[in-house]
Amino acid sequence: MGLGNPAPLGLLAFGMTTLMLMYVETGWAETEFEYVVAGNAIFYGGVGQMLVAIFEIIHGSSFSFAVFFSYGAFWLGWAFVLVERAKDYSAFGDASYPTGMTLFLIQWGILSTCFFIVTLRKNICLIVVFVLLSTTFYLLAAATATSSLAVKRAAGYFGFFTAVGAFYTGVAELINEEWGRHVLPGLRPILSPALKDISKEEIQKLTSYDKKSNSMFLQFSGLQVYRKEHIAAIREGVKTAILDATKDSGGEQKVHVIVDYKNVSIAKDLEEDYWEMTRFLERHYYLSVRRFCVSSFGTRMGGDNQQQRNAAMSDGEGSSAKNSHESTAKLEEASG
């Protein structure tokens, strides 16, 4: 059984913790409430996000690992400094360092801006979150440098909407995954590959076979199915590839199949025909099948039911197995 999608937890941890701090920054809550935020920042915003980051790198998503680990560490550091300064004999004493804090906040704004650039290939939700987050850090830096309460309040409002955006993205991923379709909008990839025709011969080129494990990897990443002829081409291409690969087996001509569904899209009116075609292949040519599907941040391995298949079509971007040997190892691990 494959791992689930850890990204929603990371988004919720970031959103909830940021939301709590922004209550203080906007003036809605007492300054002392920061100590409550610190407790949440340590366990939920800090440790929670860093655990998510570890699972994301296991899934193969460098971007989500960098994001969640960075902000998880940020929250742990913020909470540590806050709690340490509250002690009677704090190493920080009563020192004030507005210049250092300004530079600190600017560098986090720059990092968030860099993350924003990466999200331009992701989806609307993440783009909005990182635009707002970058702006929040820059405004906090300006407020620290100028001691302006008005700018601090403005930063608080931007941070508030950042948190709401992260919270929405996390919840949307959970709901869309559970329903197997886009119930809540904003997670579709911004960039889609140009439409191109699909032929039986091209499909055969997208297959690779590992004789030792009797496994075939279908590298369907970026495939766009928008004509009925494409479905027929996929069926015949996969069928021919399997028959050619197993013609000397002397037994049943069936294989274990691993399919990469990264950024695959299927025209809505062809979805039922497509999945009927896959059921035909499963009955006649597959011993087993594993499908890789992806979230808005990274990659997860999906199961074989209809709902998970549809989810593979509707989620965002991430990395997948690079060759049939790696995929076969994942299959054998899952089967074991």
Q: d(Cα 321, Cα 334) in Å, to the nearest integer?
A: 14
Element (H, E) at 291: strand 286-294
Mean pLDDT of the chain: 84
Determine what percent of the chain is predicted with pLDDT higher than 70: 83
Q: Report pLDDT for 195.
A: 60
Q: Which residues, 6 or more positions from 22, have their beta carbon under 8 angstroms from its beta carbon?
A: 156, 157, 159, 160, 163
> Which tens digit of pLDDT belongs to each residue from 206-256?
999 998 999 999 988 778 888 899 999 999 999 999 999 998 877 778 999
Q: With 60 as the cut, is the pLDDT of residue 27 above it?
A: yes
d(CA 303, CA 310) in angstroms, rounded, equals 11
Separation CA 208–CA 244 (nearest Å) = 11
Residue 30's Cβ-count burial label (10 Å; 0-12, 13-18, 19+) is exposed
- Model pLDDT, residue 308: 39
Residues 43 and 132: their CA atoms lie apart, in Å, by 24
Q: What is the pLDDT of residues 142-187, one digit of tens each?
A: 999 999 999 999 999 999 999 999 999 999 999 988 887 778 999 8
Per-residue model confidence as pLDDT tens digits over 176-196 = 888 877 789 998 877 655 566
pLDDT band for 66, please (50, 70, 90 cuts): very high
Give residue 323's pLDDT: 37
Q: Residue 316: is its pLDDT beyond 80?
A: no
pLDDT score of 317: 32
Nearest to 60 by CA among 299, 331, 262, 221: 299
Q: Would the pTM of this model clear 0.75, i.e. be above it? A: no
Going by the DSSP 8-state scheme, the letter that residue 33 receives in this structure is G
